[in-house]
Amino acid sequence: MTQKPYVIVLGNEKGGTGKSTTAMHIITALLDMGYKVGSIDVDARQGTLTRYCNNREAYQKSHLPDLSLSDHIAIHKSHAPTTAQAKEDDEKNFDQAINDRKDCHIIVVDTPGNDTHLARYAHSYADTLITPMNDSFIDLDVLSNIDSETFEVTRPSIYAEWVWEQKKHKAVRDKTSIDWIVLRNRLANIHSNNRQRIDEILEKLSKRLAFRLLEGFSERVIFKELFPKGLTLIDLKKLNQPLTLSQVAARNELRSLMREIKYPDLQEKLASA
Protein backbone atom coordinates (compact mmCIF):
# COMPACT_ATOMS: atom_id res chain seq x y z
CA MET A 1 0.00 0.00 0.00
CA THR A 2 1.47 3.31 -1.09
CA GLN A 3 -1.21 5.67 0.23
CA LYS A 4 -0.78 6.82 3.82
CA PRO A 5 -3.34 5.50 6.31
CA TYR A 6 -6.35 7.70 6.89
CA VAL A 7 -6.37 8.80 10.54
CA ILE A 8 -9.52 9.21 12.63
CA VAL A 9 -8.98 10.82 16.04
CA LEU A 10 -11.53 10.75 18.86
CA GLY A 11 -10.90 13.86 20.94
CA ASN A 12 -12.51 15.85 23.73
CA GLU A 13 -10.93 17.50 26.75
CA LYS A 14 -13.72 16.13 28.94
CA GLY A 15 -14.09 12.52 30.03
CA GLY A 16 -17.28 10.48 29.95
CA THR A 17 -18.48 11.60 26.53
CA GLY A 18 -18.17 8.23 24.79
CA LYS A 19 -14.82 8.60 22.97
CA SER A 20 -13.64 5.03 23.54
CA THR A 21 -17.05 3.48 22.86
CA THR A 22 -17.37 5.46 19.64
CA ALA A 23 -13.80 4.55 18.64
CA MET A 24 -14.45 0.82 19.12
CA HIS A 25 -17.66 0.91 17.11
CA ILE A 26 -15.92 2.74 14.27
CA ILE A 27 -13.11 0.16 14.38
CA THR A 28 -15.45 -2.83 14.21
CA ALA A 29 -17.57 -1.24 11.47
CA LEU A 30 -14.42 -0.73 9.37
CA LEU A 31 -13.17 -4.25 10.08
CA ASP A 32 -16.57 -5.64 9.06
CA MET A 33 -16.22 -3.88 5.70
CA GLY A 34 -12.86 -5.53 5.09
CA TYR A 35 -10.51 -2.68 5.88
CA LYS A 36 -7.21 -3.27 7.61
CA VAL A 37 -7.46 -1.12 10.73
CA GLY A 38 -4.87 0.12 13.20
CA SER A 39 -5.81 1.51 16.61
CA ILE A 40 -3.79 3.67 18.98
CA ASP A 41 -4.72 4.41 22.58
CA VAL A 42 -2.97 7.55 23.82
CA ASP A 43 -5.19 7.45 26.89
CA ALA A 44 -3.17 4.47 28.08
CA ARG A 45 -3.44 5.39 31.77
CA GLN A 46 -7.22 5.02 31.60
CA GLY A 47 -6.88 2.38 28.91
CA THR A 48 -10.55 1.83 28.04
CA LEU A 49 -9.96 1.23 24.33
CA THR A 50 -6.99 -1.02 25.13
CA ARG A 51 -9.08 -3.16 27.49
CA TYR A 52 -11.80 -3.30 24.84
CA CYS A 53 -9.27 -4.57 22.28
CA ASN A 54 -7.77 -7.05 24.77
CA ASN A 55 -11.25 -8.38 25.61
CA ARG A 56 -11.93 -8.77 21.90
CA GLU A 57 -8.71 -10.72 21.33
CA ALA A 58 -9.51 -13.02 24.27
CA TYR A 59 -13.02 -13.67 22.93
CA GLN A 60 -11.61 -14.41 19.48
CA LYS A 61 -9.26 -17.02 20.91
CA SER A 62 -11.89 -18.70 23.06
CA HIS A 63 -15.11 -18.41 21.06
CA LEU A 64 -14.92 -16.81 17.60
CA PRO A 65 -11.76 -17.52 15.56
CA ASP A 66 -12.96 -15.48 12.56
CA LEU A 67 -13.45 -12.31 14.63
CA SER A 68 -11.43 -9.50 13.05
CA LEU A 69 -8.96 -7.51 15.18
CA SER A 70 -7.30 -4.13 14.79
CA ASP A 71 -3.53 -3.74 15.00
CA HIS A 72 -3.54 -2.11 18.43
CA ILE A 73 -1.00 -0.29 20.59
CA ALA A 74 -1.25 1.78 23.77
CA ILE A 75 1.12 4.72 24.27
CA HIS A 76 1.89 6.10 27.72
CA LYS A 77 2.96 9.70 27.94
CA SER A 78 6.64 10.21 28.69
CA HIS A 79 7.88 10.84 32.23
CA ALA A 80 11.24 12.21 31.10
CA PRO A 81 12.86 14.63 33.59
CA THR A 82 12.46 17.69 31.38
CA THR A 83 9.45 19.00 29.50
CA ALA A 84 11.42 19.25 26.26
CA GLN A 85 12.59 15.62 26.47
CA ALA A 86 9.09 14.42 27.38
CA LYS A 87 7.62 16.17 24.34
CA GLU A 88 10.30 14.72 22.11
CA ASP A 89 9.64 11.22 23.48
CA ASP A 90 5.88 11.56 23.01
CA GLU A 91 6.24 12.67 19.41
CA LYS A 92 8.77 9.94 18.62
CA ASN A 93 6.55 7.23 20.16
CA PHE A 94 3.47 8.40 18.32
CA ASP A 95 5.32 8.71 15.00
CA GLN A 96 6.61 5.17 15.48
CA ALA A 97 3.12 3.85 16.20
CA ILE A 98 1.81 5.46 13.02
CA ASN A 99 4.75 4.19 10.95
CA ASP A 100 4.35 0.64 12.29
CA ARG A 101 0.77 0.71 10.94
CA LYS A 102 1.60 2.20 7.55
CA ASP A 103 0.06 -0.83 5.82
CA CYS A 104 -3.34 -0.17 7.40
CA HIS A 105 -6.07 1.54 5.44
CA ILE A 106 -7.30 3.48 8.46
CA ILE A 107 -5.95 4.19 11.96
CA VAL A 108 -8.32 5.10 14.80
CA VAL A 109 -6.83 7.05 17.71
CA ASP A 110 -8.44 7.43 21.15
CA THR A 111 -7.23 10.38 23.23
CA PRO A 112 -7.57 11.27 26.94
CA GLY A 113 -10.07 13.65 28.48
CA ASN A 114 -7.36 16.06 29.56
CA ASP A 115 -4.75 18.32 28.01
CA THR A 116 -1.44 16.61 27.33
CA HIS A 117 1.21 17.20 24.68
CA LEU A 118 0.70 13.63 23.44
CA ALA A 119 -3.03 14.26 22.97
CA ARG A 120 -2.39 17.51 21.13
CA TYR A 121 0.19 15.89 18.88
CA ALA A 122 -2.18 13.04 18.07
CA HIS A 123 -4.83 15.60 17.05
CA SER A 124 -2.42 17.07 14.50
CA TYR A 125 -2.50 13.75 12.59
CA ALA A 126 -6.28 13.66 12.24
CA ASP A 127 -7.81 13.53 8.79
CA THR A 128 -11.13 13.32 10.61
CA LEU A 129 -11.47 14.56 14.20
CA ILE A 130 -14.59 13.37 16.02
CA THR A 131 -15.51 15.16 19.25
CA PRO A 132 -18.34 13.37 21.05
CA MET A 133 -20.28 15.51 23.51
CA ASN A 134 -23.31 14.93 25.68
CA ASP A 135 -26.19 17.31 25.11
CA SER A 136 -25.64 19.60 28.09
CA PHE A 137 -24.24 23.01 28.94
CA ILE A 138 -21.48 21.26 30.91
CA ASP A 139 -20.21 19.55 27.76
CA LEU A 140 -20.81 22.64 25.66
CA ASP A 141 -18.23 24.37 27.86
CA VAL A 142 -15.58 22.19 26.19
CA LEU A 143 -16.14 24.13 22.96
CA SER A 144 -16.82 27.65 24.17
CA ASN A 145 -17.43 30.00 27.07
CA ILE A 146 -21.08 31.03 27.29
CA ASP A 147 -22.53 34.15 28.92
CA SER A 148 -24.84 32.93 31.69
CA GLU A 149 -27.39 35.69 31.11
CA THR A 150 -27.55 36.04 27.33
CA PHE A 151 -26.30 32.55 26.34
CA GLU A 152 -24.07 34.23 23.79
CA VAL A 153 -20.67 32.78 22.93
CA THR A 154 -18.01 34.93 24.59
CA ARG A 155 -14.93 33.09 23.34
CA PRO A 156 -13.79 29.65 22.16
CA SER A 157 -12.68 27.21 24.86
CA ILE A 158 -9.09 26.15 25.46
CA TYR A 159 -9.84 22.86 23.67
CA ALA A 160 -11.25 24.64 20.62
CA GLU A 161 -8.20 26.89 20.53
CA TRP A 162 -5.75 24.02 20.59
CA VAL A 163 -7.70 22.12 17.92
CA TRP A 164 -7.17 25.25 15.81
CA GLU A 165 -3.45 25.11 16.61
CA GLN A 166 -3.24 21.46 15.53
CA LYS A 167 -5.06 22.31 12.31
CA LYS A 168 -2.29 24.78 11.56
CA HIS A 169 0.43 22.22 12.42
CA LYS A 170 -1.16 19.67 10.09
CA ALA A 171 -1.49 22.20 7.28
CA VAL A 172 2.22 23.02 7.53
CA ARG A 173 3.43 19.43 7.93
CA ASP A 174 1.07 17.51 5.62
CA LYS A 175 -0.43 20.26 3.44
CA THR A 176 -3.88 18.88 4.31
CA SER A 177 -6.71 19.87 6.61
CA ILE A 178 -8.66 18.33 9.49
CA ASP A 179 -12.35 17.57 8.96
CA TRP A 180 -13.80 18.26 12.44
CA ILE A 181 -17.06 16.57 13.44
CA VAL A 182 -18.86 17.35 16.71
CA LEU A 183 -21.05 14.38 17.60
CA ARG A 184 -24.01 15.04 19.86
CA ASN A 185 -24.55 11.90 21.93
CA ARG A 186 -27.34 11.09 24.40
CA LEU A 187 -29.80 13.39 22.70
CA ALA A 188 -33.03 13.79 24.64
CA ASN A 189 -36.15 12.60 22.82
CA ILE A 190 -38.25 15.47 24.11
CA HIS A 191 -38.05 19.14 23.25
CA SER A 192 -36.87 21.50 25.97
CA ASN A 193 -35.83 25.13 26.26
CA ASN A 194 -32.29 24.03 27.17
CA ARG A 195 -32.02 21.82 24.11
CA GLN A 196 -33.27 24.63 21.88
CA ARG A 197 -30.63 26.97 23.33
CA ILE A 198 -27.91 24.33 22.82
CA ASP A 199 -29.10 23.84 19.23
CA GLU A 200 -28.77 27.55 18.55
CA ILE A 201 -25.37 27.88 20.22
CA LEU A 202 -23.91 24.87 18.41
CA GLU A 203 -25.15 26.13 15.05
CA LYS A 204 -23.34 29.42 15.66
CA LEU A 205 -20.21 27.66 16.89
CA SER A 206 -20.11 25.29 13.91
CA LYS A 207 -19.66 28.29 11.63
CA ARG A 208 -17.22 30.10 13.92
CA LEU A 209 -15.02 27.08 14.69
CA ALA A 210 -15.45 25.29 11.33
CA PHE A 211 -16.84 21.95 12.48
CA ARG A 212 -19.65 19.78 11.16
CA LEU A 213 -22.45 19.07 13.63
CA LEU A 214 -23.96 15.56 13.68
CA GLU A 215 -26.50 13.77 15.80
CA GLY A 216 -24.75 10.85 17.47
CA PHE A 217 -25.77 7.97 19.70
CA SER A 218 -28.76 7.87 21.99
CA GLU A 219 -28.34 6.41 25.46
CA ARG A 220 -28.58 2.75 24.46
CA VAL A 221 -27.40 -0.15 26.60
CA ILE A 222 -26.18 -2.04 23.52
CA PHE A 223 -23.32 0.41 23.03
CA LYS A 224 -21.79 -0.69 26.34
CA GLU A 225 -23.13 -4.11 27.32
CA LEU A 226 -20.81 -6.10 25.03
CA PHE A 227 -17.63 -4.46 26.39
CA PRO A 228 -16.58 -7.50 28.56
CA LYS A 229 -16.46 -9.63 25.38
CA GLY A 230 -14.82 -6.94 23.28
CA LEU A 231 -17.78 -7.03 20.91
CA THR A 232 -20.03 -4.37 19.44
CA LEU A 233 -23.45 -4.47 17.81
CA ILE A 234 -21.66 -4.93 14.47
CA ASP A 235 -20.54 -8.38 15.66
CA LEU A 236 -24.00 -9.68 16.57
CA LYS A 237 -24.54 -11.18 13.12
CA LYS A 238 -21.46 -13.39 13.66
CA LEU A 239 -23.22 -14.73 16.76
CA ASN A 240 -26.37 -15.46 14.71
CA GLN A 241 -28.27 -13.27 17.14
CA PRO A 242 -31.36 -11.49 15.78
CA LEU A 243 -31.39 -7.75 16.34
CA THR A 244 -33.96 -6.09 18.57
CA LEU A 245 -35.63 -2.86 17.45
CA SER A 246 -33.32 -0.92 19.78
CA GLN A 247 -30.27 -2.61 18.29
CA VAL A 248 -31.43 -1.86 14.75
CA ALA A 249 -31.85 1.80 15.73
CA ALA A 250 -28.36 1.82 17.28
CA ARG A 251 -26.86 0.26 14.14
CA ASN A 252 -28.51 2.95 12.03
CA GLU A 253 -27.03 5.64 14.27
CA LEU A 254 -23.59 4.15 13.72
CA ARG A 255 -24.11 3.89 9.96
CA SER A 256 -25.12 7.56 9.89
CA LEU A 257 -21.81 8.48 11.49
CA MET A 258 -19.81 6.23 9.16
CA ARG A 259 -21.42 7.89 6.13
CA GLU A 260 -19.88 11.20 7.24
CA ILE A 261 -16.27 9.96 7.26
CA LYS A 262 -14.62 11.12 4.07
CA TYR A 263 -12.47 8.10 3.30
CA PRO A 264 -12.32 7.07 -0.37
CA ASP A 265 -14.72 4.23 -1.29
CA LEU A 266 -16.18 3.99 2.24
CA GLN A 267 -19.54 5.30 1.06
CA GLU A 268 -19.67 2.74 -1.75
CA LYS A 269 -19.03 -0.07 0.73
CA LEU A 270 -21.71 1.25 3.08
CA ALA A 271 -24.20 1.43 0.22
CA SER A 272 -23.53 -2.17 -0.78
CA ALA A 273 -23.49 -3.56 2.78
Write out the DSSP string of 39-60: EEES-TTT-HHHHHHHHHHHHH
Q: What percentage of the chain exceeds 90 in pLDDT? A: 59
Q: What is the mean pLDDT of residues 39-55?
A: 95
pLDDT in tens, 170-190: 999 999 999 999 998 866 555
Name the residue type at position 97.
A
pLDDT number for residue 71: 98
Q: What is the mean pLDDT of residues 42-65?
A: 95
pLDDT at 260 exceeding the cut of 70: yes
pLDDT number for residue 114: 87
Is the overall model pTM greater than 0.85, yes or no? Answer: yes
pLDDT in tens, 113-142: 888 999 999 999 999 999 998 877 777 888
pLDDT band at 1 (very low <50, low <70, confident <90, very high): very low
Who has greater pLDDT, 245 or 36?
Answer: 36
Residue among 181, 167, 86, 89 at smallest CA distance from 128: 181
Which residues make beta-bridge pairs with 146? 153
Annotated domain spans of the chain: 6-272
Who has greater pLDDT, 62 or 153?
Answer: 62
- CA dist 211 and 140 (Å) reads 14
Q: What percentage of the chain exceeds 70 in pLDDT? A: 96
Q: What is the mean pLDDT of residues 69-74?
A: 98
pLDDT number for residue 65: 94
Q: Is the dihedral of CA 160, 166, 168, 174 positive or negative?
A: negative
CB-CB contact of 26 with 258 (8 Å): yes
Q: 6-272 in CATH: which number?
A: 3.40.50.300
- CA dist 155 and 146 (Å) reads 8
